[in-house]
């Protein structure tokens, strides 16, 4: 009898629910990772490059433990059929299940396939503190608003850290699929290089320790200021499962009381909330959760979209944020809100365009959280920002980058500006432009839109959608 532990977005040995059960219940265990080329098609994607870098590091971590991560490459059906042919005694598969999106559909296909192969599947909840079905209203319906969800969430006991008895004696390390390993290495070399962010379980634990010791207590006050670098930087480790959400919660919960601690734990609740929203609205990547705004007449100007992507809108805080994303594959959370609001409200470009671009660029891309965030900013999601509340990029810049130092870090054209007009360089006089060494319209673009006018246009577009929806509902 042979069992297989199928790793996906749980690239760790410690605190891994499926792996714990696999070791406890198996006598012979194979560790496996499946690469589906149909899922990963974009070698220019920072998202994919970062994920596969984590797989490579995890493979090396296992080697240090005397274990081999078997890499299979191809369609799920061909890989599992090939595995059963190579290992006829394969009887059980252990996995941490997905509740939504691509992962859910993949698991449905896998379940049917495993049944045909005579392999029993053992699937466990592992990726969230609470599954989508755990936190419900008193009438057993799913919440639509975060605050009442959170009030119930915070009262519920949290799952404990799982102890994995890693037993090398049970591991089978056959020389399987050497050709598939070569394909994976070729795939890795095609991807762009990701060097800005450390990956792996050791790096994840170090990042968590540093955050708790140096940043957690001031997280509430400092997290909105991008230059302060006061966020946890755990998101890409959580996304790959290099550290478990239980470990993070337990460590943070043990820290001394502070507003920062409470705020960070609330962020973990938002993560669970957005997972629940995706489970209850499985089409939310393509459709607005709030049907009231499905008739918004998006302008979808390609030139404006490219200016936004390249960080050349003429709004410094937006441009600095978008250049940070392009350079690092990561963006500060406050800036994610500002840039999403600008795209959807100032440019009236469909939020789905922005969501797809972030999916390609973000090394910490998580579908539930990213889609949830974009629908929040676009006012199309559950508990989204009201459509008439539109971020003013200039005032946001003045508030969260008062001295313009973050702007200067990513928009070098503006480094010479010595006054508050760095937040709106279009206000510089000809004398100031000459003095500061930046000619607006030449060295740095003029604003591509007038915010006041676009705010009015956005409100009208949303109100028109609302009117059409109400008419249809009659």
Active-site choice (77, 134, 228, 267): 267
Size of the chain, expressed as the number of residues it contains? 474
Of all residues in the chain, the percent with pLDDT exceeding 90 is 88
The Cα 241–Cα 148 span in angstroms is 28
102 is in an annotated binding site: no
What's the sign of the alpha-carbon dihedral 44, 45, 50, 53?
A: negative
Active-site choice (6, 308, 330, 374): 374
pLDDT value at residue 97:
96
pLDDT value at residue 429:
97
Give yes or no for a contact between 124 and 97, defined as CB atoms under 8 angstroms apart. yes
- Residue 3 forms beta bridges with which residues? 29, 92
**pTM of this structure:** 0.94
156 is in an annotated binding site: no
40 is in an annotated binding site: no
232 is in an annotated binding site: yes
pLDDT value at residue 346:
98
pLDDT value at residue 185:
77
Phi/psi region, residue 313 (left: phi>0; alpha: psi -120 to 50; beta: rest), is alpha
Of 69-78, 87-96, 117-126, 200-209, the least confident: 69-78
pLDDT class for 321, splitting at 50, 70, 90? very high
Averaged pLDDT for residues 424-449? 97
Buried b (16+ CB within 10 A) or exposed e, 312-350: bbbbbbbbbbbbbbeebbbbbebbbbbbbbbbbbbbbbb
- Answer yes or no: is pLDDT of 176 > 70: yes
pLDDT value at residue 44:
74
358 is in an annotated binding site: no
Q: Which of 450, 441, 224, 274 is nearest to 345 (CA)?
A: 450
234 is in an annotated binding site: yes
Averaged pLDDT for residues 199-223? 96
pLDDT value at residue 37:
81
pLDDT value at residue 400:
97
Averaged pLDDT for residues 436-460? 98
Give yes or no for a contact between 330 and 474, defined as CB atoms under 8 angstroms apart. no
Show me where the domains of the chain are located: 1-126, 201-280, 291-473
364 is in an annotated binding site: yes
Q: Is 308 a catalytic site residue?
A: no
263 is in an annotated binding site: no
Q: How, if at all, do strands 29-35 and 69-73 pair? A: parallel
Q: What would the pLDDT profile of 348-380 be if each residue is shown by its tens digit?
A: 999 999 999 999 999 999 999 999 999 999 999
Active-site choice (42, 173, 298, 392): 298
pLDDT value at residue 180:
78
Averaged pLDDT for residues 430-449? 97
Averaged pLDDT for residues 148-176? 94
Active-site choice (351, 353, 355, 413): 351
Q: Is 376 a catalytic site residue?
A: no
Averaged pLDDT for residues 275-297? 96
469 is in an annotated binding site: no
Q: Is 242 a catalytic site residue?
A: no
- Answer yes or no: is pLDDT of 384 > 90: no
415 is in an annotated binding site: no
The Cα 239–Cα 369 span in angstroms is 10
Q: Which CATH number fits domain 201-280: 2.102.10.10, 3.40.50.150, 1.25.40.80, 3.40.50.1370?
A: 1.25.40.80
Q: Is 298 a catalytic site residue?
A: yes
pLDDT value at residue 192:
67
pLDDT value at residue 41:
61
Active-site choice (36, 42, 333, 392): 333
Q: What is the mean pLDDT of the chain?
A: 94
Q: Is 374 a catalytic site residue?
A: yes
Q: Is 42 a catalytic site residue?
A: no
pLDDT value at residue 179:
80
**3-state SS, one letter per residue, for the chain:** CEEEEEECCCCCCCCCHHHHHHHHHCCCEEEEEEECCCCCCCCCCHHHHHHHHHHHHHHHHHHHCCCCEEEEECCHHHHHHHHHHHCCCEEEEEEECCCCHHHHHHHHHHHHHHHHHCCEEEEECCCCCCCCCCCCCCCCCCCCCHHHHHHHHCCCCCCCCCCCCCCHHHECCCCCCHHHHHHHHHHHHHCCCCCCCCCCHHHHHHHHHHHHHHCHHHHHHHCCCHHHCCCCCCHHHHHHCCCCHHHHHHHHHCCCCCHHHHHHHHHHHHHHHHHHHHHHCCCCCCCCCCHHHCCCCCCCCHHHHHHHHHCCCCCHHHHHHHHHHHHHCCCCHHHHHHHHHHHHHHCCCCHHHHHHHHHHHCCCCCHHHHHHHHHHHCCCCCCCCCCCCCCCHHHHHHHHCCCCHHHHHHCHHHCCCCCHHHHCHHHCCHHHHHHHCCCECCCECCCCCCHHHHHHHHHHHHHHHHHHHHHHHC
The Cα 195–Cα 46 span in angstroms is 11
The Cα 240–Cα 92 span in angstroms is 24
∠ CA(427), CA(432), CA(436), 5° rounding?
110
What CATH class has 1-126?
A: alpha beta
Homologous superfamily of the 291-473 domain (CATH): DNA Cyclobutane Dipyrimidine Photolyase, subunit A, domain 3 (1.10.579.10)
pLDDT value at residue 337:
97
142 is in an annotated binding site: no
Distances (CA, A) of 73 to 52, 175, 177, 319, 409: 13, 15, 9, 39, 41
pLDDT class for 23, splitting at 50, 70, 90? very high
∠ CA(98), CA(101), CA(102), 5° rounding?
85
Averaged pLDDT for residues 84-101? 95
């Amino acid at each position: 009898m042979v069992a297989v532990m199928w790793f996906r977005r749980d690239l760790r040995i410690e605190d891994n629910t499926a792996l714990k059960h696999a070791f406890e219940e198996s006598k012979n265990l194979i560790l496996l990772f499946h690469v589906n080329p149909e899922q990963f098609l974009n070698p220019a994607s920072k998202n994919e490059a970062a994920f596969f870098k984590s797989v490579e590091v995890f493979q090396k971590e296992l080697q240090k433990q005397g274990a081999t991560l078997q890499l299979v490459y191809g369609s799920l059906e061909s890989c599992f059929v090939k595995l059963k042919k190579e290992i006829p005694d394969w009887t059980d598969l252990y996995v941490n299940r997905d509740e939504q999106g691509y992962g859910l559909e993949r698991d449905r296909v896998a379940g049917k396939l495993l049944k045909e192969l005579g392999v029993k599947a053992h699937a466990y909840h592992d990726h969230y503190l609470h599954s989508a079905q755990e936190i419900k209203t008193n009438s057993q319906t799913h919440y639509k608003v975060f605050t009442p969800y959170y009030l119930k969430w915070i009262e519920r006991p949290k799952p404990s850290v799982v102890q994995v008895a890693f037993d090398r004696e049970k591991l089978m390390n056959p020389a399987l699929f050497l050709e598939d390993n070569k394909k994976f290495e070729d795939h890795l070399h095609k991807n762009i290089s990701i060097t800005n962010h450390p990956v792996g379980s050791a790096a994840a634990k170090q990042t968590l320790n540093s955050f708790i010791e140096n940043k957690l207590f001031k997280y509430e006050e400092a997290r909105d200021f991008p230059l302060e670098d006061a966020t946890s930087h755990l998101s890409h480790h959580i996304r790959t499962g290099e550290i478990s959400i239980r470990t993070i919660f337990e460590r943070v919960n043990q820290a001394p009381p502070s507003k920062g601690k409470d705020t960070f734990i609330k962020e973990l609740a938002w993560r669970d909330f957005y997972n629940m929203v995706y489970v209850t609205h499985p089409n939310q990547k393509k459709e607005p959760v709030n049907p009231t705004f499905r008739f918004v007449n998006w302008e979808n100007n390609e030139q404006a979209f490219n200016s936004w992507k390249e960080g050349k809108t003429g709004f410094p805080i937006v441009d600095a944020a978008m250049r940070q994303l392009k350079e690092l594959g990561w963006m500060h959370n406050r800036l994610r809100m500002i840039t999403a609001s600008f795209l959807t409200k100032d440019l009236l470009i469909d939020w789905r365009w922005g969501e797809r671009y972030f999916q390609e660029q973000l090394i910490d891309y998580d579908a539930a959280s990213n889609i949830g965030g974009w629908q929040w900013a676009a006012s199309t999601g559950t508990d989204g920002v009201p459509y008439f509340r539109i971020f003013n990029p200039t005032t946001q810049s003045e508030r969260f980058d008062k001295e313009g130092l973050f702007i200067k870090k990513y928009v070098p054209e503006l480094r010479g500006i010595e006054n508050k007009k760095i937040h709106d360089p279009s206000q510089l006089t000809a004398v100031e432009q000459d003095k500061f060494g930046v000619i607006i319209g030449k060295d740095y673009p003029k604003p591509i839109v007038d915010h006041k006018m676009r705010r009015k246009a956005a409100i009208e577009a949303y109100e028109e959608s609302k009117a059409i929806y109400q008419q249809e509902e009659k």
